[in-house]
Amino acid sequence: MSRQDGSSRQVTTGPVDDSATPILHVDMDAFFVSVELLRRPELRGKPVLVGGTAGRGVVAAASYEARRYGVNSAMPMSVALQRCPNAVVLRGDYRRYAEYSDRVMTIFRELTPLVEPLSIDEAFLDVSGARRLHGSPAEIAWTIRRRVHDETGLTCSVGVAASKYVAKVASGRAKPDGMLVVPAAETTAFLHPLPVSALWGVGRVTEESLLKLGLRTVGDVAAMPLDALTRAVGPALAARLSRLANGIDPRDVETRRVEKSIGHETTFDHDLVAPDDIARELLRLAADVGVRLRKAGLVARTVTLKLRYGDFTTVTRSRTLAEPTDVARRIYEEALVPLGELVGDGRRVRLIGVRAEQLRDAGGGAPLWDPDEDWRDAERTIDEVTRRFGRGAVRPAALVRPGGPGLMPTAGAGWERDDADESGRSSERPRP
């Protein structure tokens, strides 16, 4: 049995059929803020924000009191404070958040080995094999909520359903500090009255497309002929939305999360105009991506550049490599090609990002011809120096001397280019 209060919150309050609902989605409530309130209890009941305040700081988390003013995560802090001028802003302690996350995830794994963390504050659990020891899915959900509160002082919301998608929607409906079980037989009855924005993959643009077709609820999407939906949003998204709208989500809980991409981006305190300054930030980001790739034992086949201009227009450009790489210099140079086409002429850049995609294990064997061999060896040596002496012990010369020679075009400061070989490509080596 479930009830809905005056808001959209919906929770289970009595016996319910959970016999075919082995999937749990557990989501911590306002996690960063809640951890901060453990040591600042005098702020309970007040609008609290965690995030950066300098320049273009953004909101990392907002208390439910702040959300009533229309404040949400990823919002520029300046906008958040305009909407909620009396908010208390805290800088945040991300090491502390990670410690609490580890404690919560340990509780999950003590109840079932099938845990798929989605982020620092949420996870899917499959409790199919935990019934004999810990009870039914609803009982396990109650146990999780009790233990999380007793052992950490934090609260969480839990969705219990037959699939991952429905469990995630249910946990969102139960927030804050609630539990909602969606019996398998009632899946479509639960989903169909919800707005189309409840469907995974429906952002603002897709929502507008669906609304123009008169599709306002998940049930409207479920009833839409697939060919008409395909004409509106394309075949891949149409097929996925149709399945989800009908409660079909066969994905299993994956205990080993495989990275789909690795990337870094930064928003500048002030818009950048000079191409060399922008390229220098790209080099810094590419170095971070390369480190993460090597640490994870992965290589990437595609490099994607992301730029956001001062007017908030955002563009992305991707390049596919002849050979997958974990070399920061290669990532930088591939992203630098489209960068040269997208900056200059006084265009102001607000944000830049670089992402490595199409990842695979680095153990697949080296190519017969490796143009990055010298750089790969150099970067692995830097990894070892960093491990021993700390981050920043060794950096590219361009990052140490920001006023030094330019980084545009490709052959920039601190790098030498050999003559092109018979393949037409140039090989590079670190300057002695």
pLDDT at 386: 60
Q: Is residue 345 predicted with pLDDT exceeding 60? A: yes
Taking residues 199-211, what's their average pLDDT?
87
pLDDT at 414: 33
> pLDDT tier at 202 (50, 70, 90 boundaries)?
confident
Strands 10-12 and 2-4: antiparallel
pLDDT at 412: 35
Whether the CB-CB separation of 18 and 160 falls below 8 Å is answered with yes
DSSP state of 130: G
Spatial CB neighbours of 113, under 8 Å, sequence gap ≥ 6:
255
Tokens of 115: 């845990």
Taking residues 25-32, what's their average pLDDT?
96
pLDDT, one tens digit per residue, over 355-402 is: 999 888 876 544 544 556 666 667 767 666 666 655 554 555 555 444
- What is this structure's pTM? 0.68
Q: Is residue 3 predicted with pLDDT exceeding 70? A: no
Name the nearest CA neighbour of 122 among 104, 138, 136: 104
Catalytic: 333? no
Taking residues 340-362, what's their average pLDDT?
90
Strands 261-272 and 179-181: unpaired
The CA distance from 154 to 100, in Å, is 9
> What is the end-to-end Cα distance of the chain in Å, rounded?
73
pLDDT at 431: 34
Domains of the chain in sequence order: 21-185 (3.30.70.270), 192-245 (1.10.150.20), 261-363+371-430 (3.30.1490.100)
Taking residues 342-367, what's their average pLDDT?
83
pLDDT at 139: 97
pLDDT, one tens digit per residue, over 281-307 is: 999 999 999 999 988 888 899 999 999
Whether the CB-CB separation of 218 and 194 falls below 8 Å is answered with yes
Identify the residue with better confidence: 379 or 324. 324
The CA distance from 22 to 138, in Å, is 9
pLDDT, one tens digit per residue, over 152-180 is: 999 999 999 999 999 999 999 999 999 99
Whether the CB-CB separation of 379 and 290 falls below 8 Å is answered with yes
Taking residues 273-282, what's their average pLDDT?
93
pLDDT at 421: 34
Owner of token pair 């086409």: 341
Among the ranges given (185-194, 230-239, 381-390), the one the predictor scored with the smallest mean pLDDT: 381-390
The CA distance from 339 to 316, in Å, is 10
Alpha-carbon distance values, 49 to 28, 32, 34, 128 (Å): 16, 9, 11, 38
Set 122, 333, 379, 428: catalytic member: 122
What integer best gives the mean pLDDT of the chain? 85
Identify the residue with better confidence: 225 or 54. 225
The CA distance from 293 to 291, in Å, is 5
Q: What percent of the chain has pLDDT over 70?
A: 81
Ligand-binding annotation for 326, yes or no, is no
Ligand-binding annotation for 18, yes or no, is no
Neighbours of 373 (CB within 10 A): 14
pLDDT at 424: 33
> pLDDT tier at 94 (50, 70, 90 boundaries)?
confident
